[in-house]
Amino acid sequence: MGYRERIVTQRAERTDQEGTVPGAGRGGRPQLLRAINEQVLLNALRRLGQLTRADLTKIAGLSKPTVGAGLVNLERDGLVRVAGRRTGGRGPTALVYELRPDAGFVLALDVGSEFLRGGVADLTGAIRARGSRGVHAASGQARMSGIVELAGELLCEAGIASSAVVQTIVGSPGVHDRARDALTVARGLPGWERPGVLAELRRAFGPATLVQNDVNLAALAERDHGQGRDVDTFAFVSVGTGVGMGLVLSGQLHSGTHGTAGEIAYLPIATDGSVDMRDARRRGSLEAAASAAGVVRAARENGMTGRLTARRVFDAAAAGDERARDVVQREALLVARAIASVALVADPALVVLGGGIGCAPGFADVVEASLHRLVPVPPELRVSTFGSEAIVEGGIVAGIDLAWERVLDRA
């Protein structure tokens, strides 16, 4: 059930209990029922695509006059359109209806420590533009300028005015502290936790702009369109420049009481002498050891030299370098220990590995071998469907539900 469906259901339940729309007069009930009926029609079209009036009558369980009136209203409001006619059956040809994709657009942005990524999608989820750029400055203000410029380039490429964007979702490390209206634990993004950043984002992209945890968005992408489509309970574990997790329980994203569910970077797993304890205090012991910086540090301690990156260490391991293989093996054990901790508490059926390290070729197999030695019943392990685009894809998933709510309310 999407966000809009939950809101409509809650309104309907309150109406059944109280007899009226909260805050309205007794005449509010017909308008609420109309809104509910139209939402049912929109959901059917979103889920199944092009449908005739007869199709909608059967699927929605509504009368023909109710469906006909709802389609007239939705067509007038610019939310649905006639896509053609269906022929070949008995009786006259039937009009075929579909969602109007240009009723509004969603802008999804991913703010990372090394890259900014983004995408623009219409309300059917079709991608109209996608792009990325490197981050060449460490300050929060420079990162803000970069993301605004990227958004402008995407809208220009898609041929869309900024006023046509109904919902903007920004994926970022960290947790929203509502009391301060600022991000906390936004590791790796200097200046991004300062007060005023979220207000600046809203000024740039509109007051409805939402900032969501990036790994949680990636988990939504896998839930709706990726490895978690047919799995009720799973975890998305991202390992790259940072370490984090998104947890889906019974089909719903679980963020916890304070929004910090999934901040596994702070798991006290890696505490031996090879860990930079100052770095561990700053961003968590697991992230200090298992992130890309931790891989490079371990490689240097293992005798590797030159301009090292995590990717070069993994490439060297694949080419047969024993020192690099040892580093990769230790990295896999750290990640397996983190997954084991999650598995023994939440017992997910599946763990999806994402991030630059998590998606490295062959890494999941090494992690899986370690995991089988740590837990009696290990979860299945798969690699992310979307790779580096998972956060943008998840932003589009989250944005479309919210955009439909706003479009319907506006209409």
Q: Where are the beta strands (DSSP E) in 337-379?
A: 350-354
Q: For residue 343, what are the contacts with CB-CB under 8 A and spacing of at least 6?
A: 351, 371, 375, 377, 378, 379
Instruction: Give the separation between CA 409 and CA 411, rounded to whole angstroms.
Output: 5
Domain of residue 345, residue span:
229-384
Please check whether residue 71 is in contact with residue 97, taking contact to mean a CB–CB distance below 8 angstroms. yes
285 is a domain residue: yes
> Do 237 and 340 belong together in one domain?
yes
Spatial distance between the Cα atoms of 180 and 222, rounded to a whole number of angstroms? 31
Alpha carbons 349 and 233: distance in angstroms, whole number? 6
Is residue 29 in some structural domain?
yes
Instruction: Tell me the pTM.
Output: 0.85
Any domain includes 129: yes
- Report which DSSP code applies to 159: T
* Residue 255 located in a structural domain: yes
Instruction: Looking at the structure, tell me whether residues 75 and 153 fall in a common domain.
Output: no
Q: How far apart are CA 288 and CA 294, in angstroms?
A: 6
Q: Give domain status of residue 268, yes or no.
A: yes
Number of domains in the chain: 3
Q: What confidence score (pLDDT) does residue 166 get? A: 94
CB 77 within 8 A of CB 410: no
Task: Tell whether 238 and 349 lie within a shared domain.
Answer: yes
**CATH number where 318 lies:** 3.30.420.40
Give pLDDT, residue 346.
95
Same domain, 238 and 372: yes
**Do 91 and 108 belong together in one domain?**
no
Per-residue model confidence (pLDDT) at position 4: 41
Distance CA 234, CA 242 (A): 20
Same domain, 9 and 75: yes
209 occurs within a structural domain: yes
Phi, psi of 375 (to 5 degrees): -130, 150
Residue 224 placed within a domain: no
Q: Read off the CATH number of the domain in which 56 is found.
A: 1.10.10.10
Q: Identify the H or E element spanning 3.
A: helix 3-18
Q: With the C-alpha atoms ordered 367, 368, 374, 378, is the resulting torsion angle positive or negative? A: positive
Which residue, 71, 99, 127, sits at the end of a domain? 99
Q: Are residues 202 and 252 in the same domain?
A: no
C-alpha 238/C-alpha 244 separation (Å) is: 5
pLDDT of residue 39: 85
**Is position 222 within any domain?**
no
Residues 15 and 148 in one domain: no
Same domain, 251 and 365: yes
Whole-angstrom distance, CA of residue 241 vs CA of residue 358: 11
Say yes or no: 236 and 380 in one domain. Answer: yes
Q: Which residue has the tokens 């490439």?
A: 315
User: Digits of tens for pLDDT over the chain (411 positions)?
Assistant: 444 444 444 444 433 333 333 333 333 477 788 888 988 998 899 889 899 999 999 999 999 999 999 999 999 988 999 999 987 666 678 999 999 988 899 999 999 988 999 999 999 899 999 999 998 766 888 899 999 999 999 999 999 999 999 999 999 999 999 889 999 988 888 889 998 999 999 999 999 999 999 999 999 999 999 999 999 999 999 999 999 999 999 999 999 998 999 999 999 886 555 667 777 777 889 999 999 999 999 999 999 999 999 999 999 999 999 999 999 999 999 999 999 999 999 999 999 999 999 999 999 999 999 999 999 999 999 999 999 999 999 999 999 989 988 887 776
**pLDDT at position 137, please?**
64
Say whether both 302 and 327 belong to one domain: yes
Strands (E), 100-163: 105-111, 115-122, 127-134
Indicate if 258 and 373 belong to the same structural domain: yes
